[in-house]
Amino acid sequence: MYKLSLFIVAIAMFTSCGKKEKDTEDFSTGSATTEADAGDSSYDPNRGLGKHTSIDLGDKLDVAMAAEGEKIQAVKCSACHKLTDEKLVGPGWKGVTERQKPEWIMNFITNPDPMIDKDPELQAQLEICLVRMPNQSLTDADARNILEYMRQNDGVK
Amino acid sequence: MNNQFIKAGLAIVLVAAFFSSCKPKNSGDVVSGDAAQKAYVAPGKYDEFYNFVSGGFSGQVSVYGLPSGRLLRVIPVFSADPQSGYGYNEETKPMLNTSHGFIPWDDQHHTELSQTNGQVDGRWLFANANNTPRIARVDLKTFTTKEIIELPNSAGNHSSPFITENTEYVVAGTRFSVPPDNVNGDVPINTYKENFKGYLSFVKVGKAGEMDIAFQIEAPGVNFDLSHAGKGKSHGWFFFSCYNTEQANTLLEVNASQKDKDFIMAVNWKKAEEYVKAGKAKKVTTKYAHNIYDEKTHTAKSEIRTEVLVLSAKELKDICYMIPCPKSPHGCDVDPTGEYIVGSGKLAALIPVFSFDKMQNAIKNKQFDGEYDGIPVIKYEAALHGEVQKPGLGPLHTEFDGKGNAYTTFFVSSEVVKWDIKSLKVLDRVPTYYSVGHLCIPGGDSRKPFGKYLIAYNKITKDRYLPTGPELAQSAQIFDISGDKMQLILDFPTIGEPHYAQAAPADLIRNNGQLKFYKIEENNHPFVTKGEKESKVVRSGNRVDVYMTSIRSHFAPDNIEGIKVGDEVYFHVTNLEQDWDVPHGFAIKGADNGELLIMPGETSTLKWLPKKVGIVPFYCTDFCSALHQEMQGYVRVSPAGSNVPLTFSLGTNVPATK
């Protein structure tokens, strides 16, 4: 009996000091997240990736919007894009509104990083330019004005 | 006989059980099994706390993550920083201006997070400069120094930058008493007792954080060491420890250790405010710098001010009271309830704990023991709550966990001791490696400590890390204090010498509206270049201003000709990027200062004095893109008096000139 009780004490010693702290302690209150939609295979190469689903373009150019777009372009875009079809850091703008849907353009310039990861054309472009287009923090209105300026550049009147 | 044998056998089993399950606690191995798990933060995961650690003689503030001990950032505050351009570029040089001119270094001892209702609020961090007395304010949205104010009539600003519970004031003190600025200081040093004074500064903090010296208190010439504000019931009071009440001016090691007791000086700052309002403060002529960095112009301005308001502690009898405190008190810490004031006599073998209520009664009932230089001295016993007996040797600093416990560091016996504030009983002790100075518990000097971890900042590391020659790193050690016993979980080396530190929950800072980049639209720098079309080079006499832009991966312009030896060239580089984490650097061969490191949307200026004729390259120093190595340009420097015209270009070769 005596022997047994001591034995129990010994076992207790073994187990008590070796007790594991609960491993549910998650020190992280969050980690970096990306804006990309996680792994969907339903990427629409016409629309691109982002919140713009449908852009109504007028038949005619909105001159005021295009003028606003030109101002923004001078600060945030012109360092890398020419208005001709000549490549600088990125491709020239000539003809972009004929090659791409307005939704695609709006999504790309407001949400570049996730779209570069998904879009086959942008992937191909990246192999040529080797520079990912930076997020220039455009508001939706900025982006729409730039689109209008691109249309003007492509001859819309 | 048989029974004896069994007993012996079982005893061996028991001993074996002890050894195998609990590791022996000797100095080399006190880390228990799950320490790594507790300190481990997986790659890509965030830490639980930000830890703002004073950089000591580096002059900067370092930011670590807890519990991982990962270094997140070093914030340039009081020392010039060539890697960021702080103190080297034209915009931030004024930040380091003082009444003594430009000072590129200081000794940074204590950090204090702003508070609202006695709780850490995540807006600003204050930092003190000990050598040339100053207080800095760091904005925690940008982790940059936004303001520095110099303190006149002071020397050795050690008891700083502690704050009141709504950040009404941030205080400063005088460790090395000196004759004040407005009298002739050309006096024999041995006239300390007549001529030397200790000034305390109360710096008002405005809604946007802006600092302004509201008033100073002229106090006796002693060494003011540390301080903490009252809180809760004791809000309205401030407590400063002081030593060298012997007023020695030589061999302080011996001569300032003569008396059995020095003092904690209790300051009724609300009363002081009333006296200022009532016009009892003297206007005193002096000179001090006040430097503010404007986020919209990306430029600091330095202003020299010439007047402060001074209250005399001696004349106004009821703003200051001396509480005797054993043996050269160092730390002066107030518990979360505001009732208990802990004095740590660094040469004492006990810790006195004073009661705010008893102190108030003592003042009301005039339980005084004479005066010290005109200031009433409260009877020791009348203010005393009790003493912690035999806690260890050389108590320095105390922080609190909000559960009724205090944790005090002991430099001489190299340990942290946990004790119960009310009963004054010692509950636990752990060794530190070696000779701990300050300690930090997140929110540990506020009304609402966050607890969980305790970090000890050690003065000596000796054999703790791989040797690195005569100079060794200082260290911090993290203890888990969530249980009854403190558990060492990690130690890590630090920059400079860490003194005091504070910590705040990660969410409080990272959700405070962290700035990711400066909006180019809001950039009001006088030399901003908003777009490459506006880039240009302008000469005015021998001054040349280069309006330059940077974007992945080129500068505009990148070819400049017509610069002459003897010119003073200013490169104002605007980073056109509008995305997080895309700084560009700018360095030019032979520049005798530093580089520029320009955040997205920011404009920064490097002054360059071309001294030699030839072609001088400049380039981006921060690997910004796949074509970063292409991000470069050339300046052609011609002899003084040359007629090479000033031209600049990007992407086109300028026709050759004859």
**Non-local CB neighbours of B401 within 8 Å, separated by 6+ positions:** B407, B441, B444, B449, B451, B481
Same domain for B459 and B575, yes or no, is no
* pLDDT tens-digit map of B80-101: 999 999 999 999 999 999 999 9
Residue B467 within any structural domain of the chain:
yes
- Which of B481, B515, B549 represents a domain boundary (last residue)? B515
Which residue has 């004759």 as its token pair? B179
Residue numbers of the domain that contains B505: 39-75+390-515
- Which of B485, B515, B545 represents a domain boundary (last residue)? B515
Residue B511 within any structural domain of the chain:
yes
Residue of A137, A139, A142, A149 to mutate when probing chain B, most B C-beta within 10 A: A137
The beta-carbon neighbor of B625 closest among A2, A25, A131 is A131
Same domain for B590 and B616, yes or no, is yes
Which residue has 């003065």 as its token pair? B459
Residue B606 within any structural domain of the chain:
yes
Would you state the pLDDT for residue B438?
98
**Non-local CB neighbours of B532 within 8 Å, separated by 6+ positions:** A74, A78, A79, B549, B556, B576, B650
Would you state the pLDDT for residue A28?
43
| Distance from C-alpha of B372 to C-alpha of B324, rounded to nearest angstrom | 10
Residue at B434: amino acid letter: Y
Please give, rounded to a whole number of angstroms, the shortest distance from the CA of A20 to a CA of chain B: 7
pLDDT at position A7 over 60: no
* pLDDT tens-digit map of A86-97: 998 899 999 999
Would you state the pLDDT for residue A32?
39
Residue B428 within any structural domain of the chain:
yes
pLDDT at position A132 over 70: yes
For B44, left (φ over 0), alpha (ψ -120 to 50), or beta? Answer: left
Q: Is A16 on the interface with B (CB under 8 A)?
A: yes
| Distance from C-alpha of B521 to C-alpha of B519, rounded to nearest angstrom | 5
- Count of beta carbons in the 10 Å neighbourhood of residue A65: 19
pLDDT: is B477 or B12 the higher one?
A: B477
B572: closest CA among B593, B594, B542, B549? B549
Q: What percent of chain B has pLDDT over 90?
A: 90
B40: closest CA among B456, B504, B489? B489
Q: Per-residue confidence at B128, pLDDT binned at 50, 70, 90?
A: very high
* pLDDT tens-digit map of B177-218: 999 999 999 999 999 999 999 999 999 999 999 999 999 999
Residue B456 within any structural domain of the chain:
yes
B163: closest CA among B123, B133, B197? B123
Minimum mean pLDDT range among A46-55, A125-134, B11-20, B553-562: B11-20
Tally of domains within chain B = 2
CATH assignment of the domain containing B645? 2.60.40.420
Same domain for B491 and B543, yes or no, is no
Strand partners, B240: B227, B265
Would you state the pLDDT for residue B652?
85
Same domain for B493 and B533, yes or no, is no
Interval B651-655 mean pLDDT: 78
| Distance from C-alpha of B57 to C-alpha of B63, rounded to nearest angstrom | 16
Residues of B whose CB is below 8 A from A18: 21, 33
* pLDDT tens-digit map of B269-289: 999 999 999 999 999 999 999
* pLDDT tens-digit map of B483-540: 999 999 999 999 999 999 999 999 999 999 999 999 999 999 999 999 999 999 999 9
Terminal C-alpha separation, chain A? 103
Q: Using CA of residue B98, residue B100, residue B102, residue B107, what is the dihedral sign? A: negative
Listing DSSP states for B213-256 in one string gives EEEEEEEESSEEEEEEE--GGGTTEEEEEEE-TT---S-HHHHT
Q: Per-residue confidence at A19, pLDDT binned at 50, 70, 90?
A: very low
Would you state the pLDDT for residue B637?
98
For residue B86, give the DSSP letter: B
Say whether B22 and A17 touch across the interface (CB within 8 A).
yes
Supply the ipTM of this predicted assembly.
0.72
B475: closest CA among B448, B509, B439? B439
Q: Is A7 on the interface with B (CB under 8 A)?
A: yes
* B157 touches B134 (CB < 8 A): yes
**Angle at which helices A63-76 and A140-153 pack, to 10 degrees?**
100
pLDDT: is A15 or A152 the higher one?
A: A152
Please give, rounded to a whole number of angstroms, the shortest distance from the CA of A59 to a CA of chain B: 31
Q: Is B12 on the interface with A (CB under 8 A)?
A: no
B264: closest CA among B231, B234, B222? B222
Q: Is B271 on the interface with A (CB under 8 A)?
A: no
Same domain for B395 and B449, yes or no, is yes
Residue B384 within any structural domain of the chain:
no
Residue B186 within any structural domain of the chain:
no
Question: Please, what are the domains in chain A?
Answer: 44-52+59-157 (1.10.760.10)
Residues of A whose CB is below 8 A from B42: 28
- Residues 34-73 of chain A whose Cβ lies under 8 A from any Cβ of chain B: none
Same domain for B493 and B423, yes or no, is yes
* pLDDT tens-digit map of B360-383: 999 999 999 999 999 999 999 999
**What is the four-CA torsion angle of A30, A34, A36, A40, rounded to 10 degrees?**
-40
From A134, which residue of chain B is nearest by alpha-carbon distance?
Answer: B579
Say whether A137 and B33 touch across the interface (CB within 8 A).
no
Would you state the pLDDT for residue A130?
87
The beta-carbon neighbor of A27 closest among B6, B45, B530 is B45
- Which of B515, B540, B564 represents a domain boundary (last residue)? B515
Would you state the pLDDT for residue A36?
43
| Total count of residues recorded for chain B | 658
Q: Is B628 on the interface with A (CB under 8 A)?
A: no
Same domain for B479 and B449, yes or no, is yes
Same domain for B560 and B617, yes or no, is yes
* pLDDT tens-digit map of B573-627: 999 999 999 999 999 999 999 999 999 999 999 999 999 999 999 999 999 988 8
- Residues 37-56 of chain B whose Cβ lies under 8 A from any Cβ of chain A: 37-38, 40-42, 44-48
Would you state the pLDDT for residue A29?
40
Q: Taking all residues of chain A, what is their mean pLDDT, rounded to a whole number?
A: 81
| β-bridge pairing B632-638 and B614-619 | antiparallel
Would you state the pLDDT for residue B7?
53
Residues of B whose CB is below 8 A from A35: none
Residue B142 within any structural domain of the chain:
no
* pLDDT tens-digit map of B318-371: 999 999 999 999 999 999 999 999 999 988 889 999 999 999 999 999 999 999
A51 by Cβ neighbours in 10 Å (0-12 / 13-18 / 19+) ranks as exposed
Interval B451-473 mean pLDDT: 94
Same domain for B575 and B639, yes or no, is yes
Say whether B553 and A89 touch across the interface (CB within 8 A).
yes
Say whether B579 and A136 touch across the interface (CB within 8 A).
yes
The beta-carbon neighbor of A14 closest among B17, B578, B651 is B17
Q: Output the CA angle B163-B169-B171, nearest 5 degrees.
A: 65
* pLDDT tens-digit map of B129-170: 999 999 999 999 999 999 999 999 999 999 999 999 999 999
pLDDT at position B29 over 60: no
Same domain for B546 and B630, yes or no, is yes
Would you state the pLDDT for residue A42?
84
Say whether A132 and B517 touch across the interface (CB within 8 A).
no
* pLDDT tens-digit map of B238-250: 999 999 999 999 9
| Distance from C-alpha of B345 to C-alpha of B334, rounded to nearest angstrom | 15
Q: Per-residue confidence at B656, pLDDT binned at 50, 70, 90?
A: low
pLDDT: is B495 or B18 the higher one?
A: B495
| Distance from C-alpha of B606 to C-alpha of B619, rounded to nearest angstrom | 13
Residues of A whose CB is below 8 A from B533: 74, 78
Please give, rounded to a whole number of angstroms, the shortest distance from the CA of A6 to a CA of chain B: 7
| Distance from C-alpha of B549 to C-alpha of B603, rounded to nearest angstrom | 9
Same domain for B489 and B539, yes or no, is no
Same domain for B494 and B571, yes or no, is no
Q: Is B653 on the interface with A (CB under 8 A)?
A: no
* B112 touches B120 (CB < 8 A): no
